[in-house]
Amino acid sequence: MTTSVDAPSIPIIDISGYRAGDPDASREVAARIDAACRSVGFLVVTGHGVDGSLIERCREVTMRFFGLSPHQKLEYKMPPDRYRGYTSPGTESLAASYGQESPPDLKESYSIGPVDVPDDDYHSSERAGAFFAPNRWPSEIVDMEPIWSEYYREMERLATELMRLFALGLGLDEHYFDDKVDRHITNMSAIHYPPLVGEPAPGQLRGGAHTDFGSLTIVQRDRAPGGLQVLIDGTWVDAPWVPDSFVINIGDLMAEWTNDRWVSTIHRVGLPSRLEDAASDRLSLIFFHQPNYDAVIEVLESCSSPDDPPRYETVTSGEHITRKILAMRSPELGS
């Protein structure tokens, strides 16, 4: 069962008051975010300050890459030891990361990691592994690197502001998370959902039901048919479409940090519901925010008590994300 696209269960929150430095507006925004993360783990953010022309330039250059021939795109195939480059249709199953058997997702993607990486011991040590591996850029699309890098930096800025609002919503100092995300290991992916060709396999979706892995996810999406759906109280709810907005959701790491005070909610990317929409395609720009690889994730004192002791063992951010990605990229689906 799915509700209408105007379902009110996912709140729309304007963060411009916080960004303007208004203390009263900041408290109100933080309280609304706390309520959203407690109940559904999703919200739609407006007033974010990201230039719309940058979004459009990023979308346009990305679609030029996905318009290349399969042979050209496979020149940038993602290697098995790092999350950089192209993944072709049929090589990932998001549901597998959630422990569910599922056909491969009907999508292709291109992913990068941090930009502007310093040349120092922290970023190049053995412990850092491939988290700061160089990004790969297609030679056929010469303006992809500067545009994506500019967009990535804007997402860094927005993610930092959201983490500060998260801290306020949790009753912490506004800058509590700053030193845990200042050398983050975030992957940014462009996910292209091509037009449907033929009949999908039973249970096959554009993106199988799953939860996200990290602290928060920032999604910039279009309005093409067959989009983001969130499982709320046993019902698949279409995420509301709001111009000039981002969909934000928290991931498993934030749920563990808060001892499940905040919920990492199952979601999926569905198929077009009408036959005439099967030829449509979608593009989403997704920033999977992940704290520093050595950030220690343990239940916050404010989120546990003698009656509600910590439910999770301590883990580092790097250990957590590595386990999740390996589960999603199962050997049966190819690398």
Whether 261 is in a domain gets the answer yes
- Look at residue 124 and tell me if it is in a domain: yes
Say if 4 falls within a structural domain.
no
> Quick check: is 5 in a domain?
no
**Mean pLDDT score, 213-235:** 89
CB 83 within 8 A of CB 113: yes
Asked whether residue 185 is domain-assigned, the answer is yes
Structural domain includes residue 252: yes
Residue-level pLDDT at 8? 45
Paired sense of beta strands 12-14 and 42-46, if any: parallel
The total number of structural domains in the chain stands at: 1
Structure tokens, 217? 């996810």
Report how far residue 318's alpha carbon sits from residue 312's, in angstroms, rounded to the nearest whole number.
16
Q: Which three-class secondary structure state does DSSP give residue 235?
A: strand
Q: Roughly what angle, to the nearest 10 degrees, separates helices 144-169 and 52-66?
A: 130
Predicted confidence at residue 151, as pLDDT, reads: 98
Structural contact between residues 248 and 145, judged by C-beta atoms closer than 8 angstroms: no
- Full residue range of the structural domain in which residue 83 is found: 12-328
pLDDT, residue 6, reads 43
pLDDT at 4: 42
Give this prediction's pTM.
0.90
pLDDT at 278 over 70: no
Alpha-carbon distances of 167 from 42, 104, 122, 152, rounded to whole Å:
16, 37, 26, 22
Residue-level pLDDT at 17: 98
Tell me what pLDDT residue 74 has.
Answer: 96
pLDDT at 89: 83
Helices (H), 142-225: 144-169, 178-181
The average pLDDT across 1-18 equals 73
Q: What is the pLDDT of residue 270?
A: 75
Please check the confidence at residue 334 and state whether its pLDDT lies above 50.
no
Residue 48 has pLDDT above 70, yes or no: yes
| Residue 68's CATH number | 2.60.120.330
Residue linked to tokens 């199953």 = 93
Residue 227: predicted pLDDT: 82
| In-domain check, residue 22 | yes
Is 166 within 8 Å of 261 (Cβ atoms)?
Answer: no
Q: Which range, 78-87, 161-170, 273-282, is most confident?
A: 161-170
pLDDT at 175 over 50: yes
Q: Is it the case that residue 95 has pLDDT exceeding 80?
A: no
- 335 falls within a domain: no
